Structure 1
Amino acid sequence: MSSIKIKKGDLVRVIAGKDKGKDGKVIAVNHKNNTVLVEGVNMITKHTKPSAANQQGGIIHQEGPLHVSNVMYLYKGQPARIQYQIKDGKKVRAAKVKDAQAVIID
């Protein structure tokens, strides 16, 4: 089982599915199901009953989960792979853009 290299707050591009090519910010990461929620991508319609939080009820549009394999990290607008490196005894994330050196992002 591989670890999820995408974190909350990362800018990602959808690389597969109905929203292929869209960019967005990661809202949440679910490590148990290997899914991510991306702002403005994979919008679903949900019918809700009136509650204390939502007095009116009705139809709500919200983001649906995407499998983590269907998104790719964006580094300066370009899709990049994420790798881990050891710098000064600490494990840090690095982005590797096609045909270039890896650049530390965290």
Structure 2
Amino acid sequence: ESRGQKGKILSIDTAKYRAIVEGVNMVSKSEKPNAKNTNGGIVKKEGSIHLSNLMIVIDNKTARIGRVLDEKSNRMERVFKTKKEASK
């Protein structure tokens, strides 16, 4: 249901490997009346998505991100799977 949708990443939970994306995976939550929302009722908000289900879009091209060991610095670097270049 959320396949192919684009949005800005609002937050990432690294402990659970999940992200919240703007306008994607909308869920309905019932909210009690409070000072902020005096009426209460059903509120739509973004739900979290597992990081493996996200793709980065650069110049209208989608790319997954992988990690490769750099021989020079002996450190792991992020690599776009479509370009095979290290991103900084």
- TM norm. shorter chain > 0.5: yes
Count of equivalent residues: 84
Distance 1:101 1:36 in 2: 24
1:59 aligns with 2:45: no
Q: Is the 8 A contact 1:24 1:39 kept in 2?
A: yes
Q: Is the 8 A contact 2:10 2:19 kept in 1?
A: yes
Q: Percent identity?
A: 31
Q: Is the 8 A contact 2:79 2:86 kept in 1?
A: yes
Q: Is the 8 A contact 2:25 2:46 kept in 1?
A: yes
- Any residues of structure 2 matched to 1:1-106 within 5 Å, and which? 18-83=1-66, 96=80, 98=82, 100-102=83-85, 104=87, 106=88
- TM-score scaled by length of structure 1: 0.65
Structure 2 unaligned residues grouped into runs of 5+: none
Structure 1 unaligned residues grouped into runs of 5+: 1-17
Aligned to 1:13: none
Q: Give 1:58 deviation, angstroms.
A: 1.0
Name whichever structure is richer in strand by fraction. 1
Aligned to 1:6: none
RMSD over aligned Cα, in angstroms?
2.3
Q: Which protein has the larger Cα radius of gyration, Structure 1 or Structure 2?
A: 2
Q: Is the 8 A contact 1:30 1:36 kept in 2?
A: yes
- TM-score scaled by length of structure 2: 0.76
Runs of 4 or more consecutive aligned structure 1 residues displaced over 6 Å after TM superposition = none
Q: Give 1:31 deviation, angstroms.
A: 1.1
